[in-house]
Structure 1
Amino acid sequence: MKIEDSLKQTYISMLRGINVGGHRKVKMDDLKDLYENLQLENVTTYIQSGNVVFQSNIQSCKVLADLISEQILQQFQLDVPVIVKNIEELNDVHESNPFVAQNRDVEKLYVIFLSENVTGTVVEEINKYSGDDLFIIYKSVIYLFCTNGYGKTKLTNTFFEKKLKIIATTRGWTTVSKLREIAKSSISE
């Protein structure tokens, strides 16, 4: 093993708002090429909503997010926020979901990934809007259980972005689990 290989880390990037409702379209093959052109390695995309697992020697999620976002703007003329988590962070998010421990319906579970950690200072205000839905802020994610499904909740991605004044992107629990599986398998290759 080369020294630079030992420095490689596995990352998961999630693009905000592409291929939703037929807007801001980016083909996953083109996205994969973009990542490879940035010298990111072992690139794997998952479904059409901008989920990418890759490896890099760059050791900063923020640097990677900015690099990818800038390249998307340059190549596709789309201003797309990107959130990057490393495999350890994704493992922590997956293992710490309190709603899974409560045996909640996974089809109604979501994770809102945030661009930075938040404090509990806005929780009381957000609680006014939650209705039957439940949420828990944990580090730089929000676990969300939508009693009547995501399509009927007031606690949308946009809602949290406005209240918290940070970038966010939402993924269903099944997608989060699959991204973790892909990331873990890329380490063993």
Structure 2
Amino acid sequence: MGGVADYVAFLRAINLGKNRKFPMAEVKACLAAGGFSDVETYIASGNVRVGSSMRSPGNVAAELERLFEADRGFAVPTVVMTPRELRQVYDDAVGLEPPFGAAEVRRYVTLAKEPVPADAAAEIHALEAEGEVARVVGRAVHLWIRAGYQNARLNNARLERAVGVATTRDLKVITTLAERWGS
């Protein structure tokens, strides 16, 4: 088996406030030095496309995390998907029936490192509050939130307690990434 496969990585909890800084130019340099090819980034929240001869998103995630910690001195949990998986997350998002009017709500997608088990999905639904709805599909938790995300019950910290390592993106970001990097 040869050749290079593409992967999309979502870095968790970088460039928030004055701690955990990891400028995208330095992410690119770190990954290029670590043997990844065709490295691209999109906005400072940690969205990265890489080429690799590895054939498993799990192996790619482990290597990215190893490189990031060696470079930064702190752990950078990373969710990795194939371009096809990213496209499926986007397709699922646009295909889901909105629970209330689209003009009244912000859409987010929480991406889990592993598939979300049924008991975790039930735990997530128990967190729903007025103006907050979640739908679990595969490794994604699709969120509709009327008020600001920062004050939502369905926030990344609570969702991680249910699903393990996860990171949240606005649906607008997922849409752009699916257009750029999804197959």
Query: TM over 0.5, yes or no?
Result: yes
Which position in structure 2 is the counterpart of 1:43? 39
Alpha-carbon separation, structure 2, partners of 1:28 and 1:123: 33
* 1:89 aligned onto 2:81: no
Which position in structure 2 is the counterpart of 1:146? 145
Point out where structure 2 has 5 or more consecutive residues left out of the alignment: none
Alpha-carbon separation, structure 1, partners of 2:123 and 2:181: 36
RMSD of aligned Cα (Å): 2.1
Aligned length: 180
Q: Which runs of 4+ in 1 moved over 4 A?
A: 98-101
Equivalent runs, 1:37-186 vs 2, <5 Å: 37-97=33-93, 102=98, 104-105=102-103, 108-132=106-130, 133-164=132-163, 166-184=164-182
Q: Which whole-Å deviations, capped at 9, do the CAs of 1:137-178 have from their partners, x for residues lacking one?
A: 1111100111113122111111011123x1000011111111
Percent of pairs with identical residues: 25
| Distance verdict in 2 for CA 1:137–1:22, change over 3 Å | same
Secondary structure of the 1:44 match is strand
TM-score w.r.t. the length of structure 1 is 0.86
* Farther off after superposition, 119-128 or 18-27: 119-128
Question: What is the deviation of 1:76?
Answer: 1.0
Q: 8 Å contact 2:105–2:146 — kept in the other structure? A: no
* 1:15 aligned onto 2:14: no
Point out where structure 1 has 5 or more consecutive residues left out of the alignment: none
Question: What is the deviation of 1:42?
Answer: 1.3
Q: 8 Å contact 1:53–1:179 — kept in the other structure? A: no
Question: What is the deviation of 1:39?
Answer: 1.8
Q: 8 Å contact 2:124–2:134 — kept in the other structure? A: no
